[in-house]
Amino acid sequence: MPGASSRLIAIACGTAGLAGFFALWQVIGHYQLAGLSWPPLTAVLQYLFDPDRHALFLRAIDATLRSTIAGYLIGALTGIGLASIAYTLPMLQRGSDRFAAVVNSIPSIALGPIFLILISREATPAGVASIHVFFIVYVSMNSGLASTSQAHEDLFSALGSSRLKRFLRLNFPSAVPAIASGLRLSWPAALIGAIIGEWFGAPRGIGILIINSMQNFQINLLWSAVLLAAMASLFFFGMLTLVERAAYRRFR
Amino acid sequence: MARFFVLNWGILLILVAWEGWVAANDFNPIVMPSPQGVFMDMISNPGIYVENTSVTLFVAAVGLAGGLAVGTGLAILTWSSPLLSGIVSPTAVLFSSVPVVSLIPIIARILGYNMATEIAIVVIITFFPSFVFTTAGLRDLPHGSQDLFSVLGASRRATLRRLALPAAVPNMAIALRLAAAHAILAAMIAEFLMGTTGLGYLFAVTKQEFLTERAFGTSVVATAISVAAFLATSLLERRIRARFT
C-alpha cells in the first residue's frame, strides 16, 4: 500500500522536525547561546512538573481556562447571532461588517481597561477573549452563508418557503462547516484574549504568571507558564479539529 | 447620507452608547472619559499623537515586511524540497496554534528592551500566516498545469517562477491582510510591555498617570489605523484576486 507507507514517511519526517526543534531548544539553553534568558528544555520541564508547584500551576491554568471558555462561548454565540441577523436583514449587512471590523481593531490592551469598568476585574479576561472569538466566528459564518448553492436557493423560492424557514433549513446548515472552521481557529485567539485580559489585575491566571515572571526575571517560571499555555492551546485546538472534521462529513 | 448610515450604523451606535453610558453614570473623566473629551484631547495635542503613531507604524511596517519575506522564503524552500517540507511543516503548524502573544515576554527578555526587539516580535508574529498561506498557495495549482510544465520539460526553477509563484499570489494577499492587522496589534503589545516608544508606550504611561482621556485617544488612533490597514489590504486583496485568477 503506497498510501500507508507515504503516510508513515510523513509522520517520521514530522517527528524528526519536532525532535530537531526540541533538541535545538535544549542545546541553545544548555550552552547559553542566547544568554541567561533561554533555559534548556529539561530545566523548564523539571520546573513545570515539580510537585511543589503543582498547586500554583493548576490554580493558574484553571482560572485561565474558565475565562477562555466563558469568553469563547459568549463570543461564538454573539458572532453567530449577528451574522444571522445581518443575513436575514440585508440592509444591515454592510454596516455590521464594518462594525465587526472596527470592534476587532480596538487593540486588546485598550479593551482591558474598558471591560474593567464595564464588568469587573474577574470577568475582564473573558470579555477580551469574547471579542477575538466574535470576529473570527462572524467572518467565517458570513463566508459559509455566502456558499449556499444557488440551485437549492431557487428550489426553496420556487416552493414558496418563507425567508426564516429557508435560513433555518438551508442557509444555516450550509454554513455549519465554515462555522466549525471558525470555532477551531478562534480557540488560540480566545486564549490570547484571556491572557491579555488577566494583565489588568485579574486575581490569578497564566497571564499573571507570565507578566510577573517577566518583570521579576524568573526565567524558568516565565517559560513554564508559556509552555503550559501552549499545551492548553494545542489540546483544545486538536479537539476542535475533530469537531470540524465531523461537521464537514455531516454537512457536506 | 443614507449610504453613510448603511455603512456606519455600527460605529455610530458605539459612539452613542459610549456617550450615553458616561452621561448616565456621571463618570469622572479619570475613570471613564466621554467621546467629546477624548476628541478634544486629540485635536489639542496633535504632536504627541502623530509622533507616537509614526513610531508604531514604522515598527509594524518594517516587521510586517520582514515577516512576509521570511514566511515566503521558507515556503519556497519547503516547496522545492518535499523532505524539508515534511520536516518543517508540522512544527510550523504547531506554532500557528500556540498563543503567540505569550511569546512576546520571552522574546523581550532574550533580545532586550528596545525597538529592534519590537520589530523582531512583529516579524515572528506575521511570519506564521505568511508561511501557512503561501505554502498552501504554491501547492494549489490549476488542474493539469503541473503536467503541462513537466511535459514541456520546464526546470523546477522555471516552474516556480512561471507557475507556482503566480498561483500563490492571491493567497499571499490573504496573508498580507491577516498579518497587517496582527502587525499593529503585536507592535502595540510589545511597546506596552516594554515601555519603550510608540502608541503602546503612550497608552501604558497615560493610564498610569490617570490621563485617561489621552489613553482612550491612543486607543482610538490605534483602532483607526488598524481599520485603515484592514480596509486597504482588503481592497488590495480584491484587486490582486481579480488580476491573478
Distance between CA atoms of residues A230 and B100, nearest Å:
9
What is the C-alpha separation between B39 and B190, in angstroms, rounded?
26
Q: Residue B99 pLDDT more than 60?
A: yes
pTM: 0.86
User: Each residue of A183-220: b (16+ CB within 10 Å) or e?
Assistant: bbbbbbbbbbbbbbbbbbebebbbbbbbbebbeeeebb
pLDDT of amino acid B61: 95
The DSSP letter of residue B161 is I
Q: What is the ipTM of this complex?
A: 0.80
Instruction: Enter the C-alpha cell of residue B136.
Output: 498552501
- Domain residue spans of chain B: 35-244
Name the grid cell of A50.
Answer: 515539580
- Maximum pairwise Cα distance, chain A: 73
HEC string of B195-214? CCCHHHHHHHHHHHCCCHHH
Q: How far apart are CA B160 and CA B157, in angstroms?
A: 5
Q: Is B110 close to A91, i.e. CB distance below 8 A?
A: no
Task: Using DSSP, state whether A250 is helix, strand or coil.
Answer: helix
Query: Which of B6, B91, B108 lies closest to A18 in CB terms?
Result: B91
Q: For B99, which of A99, A195, A219 is closest by C-beta distance?
A: A195
Residues of A in contact with B189 (CB under 8 A): 107-109, 196
Hey, which residues 180-239 in chain B have their CB within 8 Å of chain A?
181, 184-185, 188-189, 192-193, 199-200, 203, 207, 215-216, 218-219, 222-223, 226-227, 230-231
What is the predicted pLDDT for the residue at A190?
93
Residue A106 CA to residue B227 CA, distance in Å, equals: 9
Residue A249 pLDDT > 90: no
- Cβ contacts below 8 Å, chain A against chain B, sum to 151
For residues A167-177, one letter each, b for 16 or more C-beta atoms within 10 angstroms of the residue's C-beta and e for the rest, the string is beebbbbbbbb
Question: Residue A1 pLDDT more than 70?
Answer: no
For residues B145 and B150, what is the distance between their CA atoms, to the nearest angstrom?
9
- Torsion, Cα A230 A103 A120 B209, to 10 degrees, reads 100
Distance from CA of A22 to the nearest CA of B (A): 10
Question: In angstroms, rounded to a whole number, what is the distance separating the alpha carbons of residues A160 and B200?
Answer: 55
Q: Report whether pLDDT(B109) > 60.
A: yes
* Structure confidence at residue B50 (pLDDT): 92
Q: Are B99 and A192 inside 8 Å of each other by CB?
A: yes
Query: What is the distance in angstroms between the Cα of B70 and the nearest Cα belonging to chain A?
Result: 18
**R_g over Cα of chain A:** 22
Q: Which has the minimum average pLDDT: A103-107, B152-156, B215-219, B233-237? A: B152-156
HSE of A22 in the Cβ direction (CA atoms, 13 Å)? 12
Mean pLDDT over each residue of chain A, to the nearest integer: 88
Instruction: Render pLDDT for A70-114 as a digit per residue (tens, 0 to 9).
Output: 999 999 999 999 999 988 888 888 888 888 888 888 888 888 888
Q: Where residue A224 falls among pLDDT bands split at 50, 70, 90?
A: very high
- CA–CA separation, A6 and A11 (whole Å): 9
Mutation target to probe the B interface, by most B beta carbons within 10 A, among A9, A28, A38, A102 is: A102
CATH of B35-244, one of 3.30.465.10, 1.20.1300.10, 1.10.3720.10, 3.40.50.300: 1.10.3720.10
Chain B positions in Cβ-Cβ contact with residue A14 (cut-off 8 Å): 86-87, 89-91
Region of residue A201 (phi > 0: left; psi between -120 and 50: alpha; otherwise: beta): left
CB-closest option in A95, A107, A222 to B222: A107
Using the Cβ of B22 and the Cβ atoms of chain A, whether some distance falls under 8 Å is answered with no
Highest mean pLDDT, choosing among A224-228, B11-15, B194-198: A224-228
Do residues B31 and A117 touch, judged by C-beta distance below 8 A?
A: yes
CB atoms A99 and B184 under 8 Å: no
pLDDT digits (tens, 9 = 90+) for B128-148: 888 888 888 887 777 777 788
Distance from CA of B94 to the nearest CA of A (A): 8
Scan for cell 523548564, then name that residue: A44
Compute the average pLDDT of residues A58-79. Answer: 95
Instruction: Name the residue with cell 510589545.
Output: B190
In this predicted model, what pLDDT tens digit does every residue of A166-204 receive, in sequence order?
888 888 888 888 899 889 889 999 999 999 999 988 889
**What integer pLDDT is reported at residue B67 of this predicted model?**
94
CA distance B114 to B13: 39
Which CA distances in Å does A228 have to A137, A216, B75, B113?
25, 19, 29, 24
Burial group, residue B46, by CB count within 10 angstroms (0-12, 13-18, 19+): exposed
Of B119 and B94, the structure prediction assigns the larger pLDDT to B119
Q: What is the pLDDT of residues A118-153, one digit of tens each?
A: 888 888 999 999 998 999 999 889 888 887 888 888
C-alpha to C-alpha distance for B125 and B103, rounded to whole angstroms: 9
d(CA A137, CA A179): 6
- Predicted local confidence at residue A130, as pLDDT: 95
